Structure 1
Amino acid sequence: MSRSAVAVVNGRVRDGWEIGAGVSTARLTLRDESPLSKIVVRAPFTGAVRTDLGVSFGRTTRADVAGVGQVLVVGAAPGEWVVLGPIGSGIRLLGDLHERLAASGEFASAVDITHGRCLVRLHGPDARRTLAKVCGIDLADDSVPDGSALRTSVARIVTDMVRDDVDGELSYLLHCERSSGQFLADMLLDAGSEFGIEVTGFASGAATLAGGAR
């Protein structure tokens, strides 16, 4: 059984992962989405791979992959992308990406990092004010609009941040090394305590990735 770096409360097993089963209706929630499949792609900053993935540095897009479903493609850094897929889709997603990279004719790589990274979602109208306590970036709409991706320091941890609003409500995906995952979650819960933050359970992979579709 696979486990996230973040401690699970009221856990159950799904697709080989221990996940949280509780559901919160609080205005501000933190959800561990580490079970989502995560593939990092590295290729030239410009070229066939970037065109095929359909997104440049600092932005995100969604795509449908045959046999996998909807994925979120994140332009994480110059020449680096992170592709998030439904839980349990890592092998199929990696195979699809390897075929596409081979067809590009460029020097490129795709590696499954699902178990090596922590991924949480901070969701709700007070998400920006919560992050302001632990991150020095200006997260105003004109600086970091929906669909933005950046790498910054959150609670002194190097973190990939994606603004991925759900049904018009503020939502951020935060992605860091597994070893820092519990610390990041604890710091976000502490920062959001004055706003009544609660932990909520893992949703289905499809719903998680489709919820912020633009």
Structure 2
Amino acid sequence: MVDLTNLARVGFRGTDSAEFLLSKGYHLPETPNHATLQDDGSMVARLSQTEYLLLGSLRDAGTRVSDLEAHWQLSEQANYLLPRQDSHAWLLLTGEHCAAVMAKLCGVDLRDGNFTQGAVAQTSAARINVIVINTHTTALPSFHILCDRASVSYFWDAVLDAMLEFGGKPAGIQALLD
């Protein structure tokens, strides 16, 4: 498990949000509860018909996403900024047993056959609300998990406890760059 909370993330909601993001060069998922990996390593998750969550890339330390947030301006366009840096912590759970780890915490079946690459689940894990995104972009399964930032210490401990059975442990961001 790696803590990615220091990377940029932001949301947009409104009937014109898709048009806004397309104009900024983002590729969008066609349906809600799906995510699309961008060419630069960032990600766009579609949470509803008109709400999107953008996650920054390690490649540019989240600069593209943070710049988009910093330069957003209210206009006549129905596209509203949803800051997520202070509200959501961001963890990456990876390894061959990540679905089994999450099964100990969450009632949603996150195994490969049911939770495919690019799928998004907005659910509860360890009794708190989470957003789980199956990225599986590496040789091992990978789940990006966003939770309430005020609860991240509790959630971190709950995930670590669930990982013990499988020999899991926390890692630093450097593990993703090697």
Q: TM tier, shorter chain? A: 0.7 to 0.9
Give, in angstroms, the shift of residue 88 of structure 1: 5.4
Q: Percent identity at matched positions?
A: 23
Which residue of structure 1 aligns with residue 37 of structure 2? Answer: 62
TM-score, L = length of structure 1: 0.69
1:103-142 aligned within 5 A: 106-142=77-113
With over 3 angstroms needed to count, the CA separation of the structure-2 counterparts of 1:180 and 1:145, relative to structure 1, is same
Distance 2:18 2:137 in 1: 31
Q: SS of the counterpart of 1:191? A: helix
Alpha-carbon shift at residue 45 of structure 1 (Å): 8.7
Q: Which runs of 5+ in 1 are unaligned?
A: 1-29, 209-214
Number of paired residues? 170
User: Structure 1 pair 47/186, CA: closer, same or farther in 2 (3 Å)?
Assistant: closer
Between Structure 1 and Structure 2, which shows a larger proportion of strand residues? 1
Query: What per-residue deviation string (whole Å, max 9, x for no partner) do you get for residues 21-80 of structure 1?
Result: xxxxxxxxx11010110111112299635766521311111235xxxx542111123321
Per the TM alignment, residue 142 of structure 1 is displaced from its structure 2 partner at its CA by 2.9
Moved more, 74-83 or 190-199: 74-83
Which residue, out of 81, 93, 109, partners 2:68? 93
What is residue 6 of structure 1 aligned with on the other side? none
Q: Which has the higher contact order (CA 8 A, sep 6+)?
A: 1
Query: Any unmatched runs of 5+ in structure 2?
Result: none
Q: Hey, what does 1:48 align to over in structure 2?
A: 19
Counterpart contact for 2:42–2:55, Cα < 8 Å: yes
Match of 1:178 in 2: 149
For the aligned residue pairs, the C-alpha RMSD in angstroms reads: 2.7
Paired amino acid for 1:59: H
Are the counterparts in 1 of residues 17 and 51 from structure 2 also a CA contact under 8 Å? Answer: no
Looking at structure 2, the residues matched to 187 and 83 of structure 1 have their Cα atoms a distance apart, in angstroms, of 26
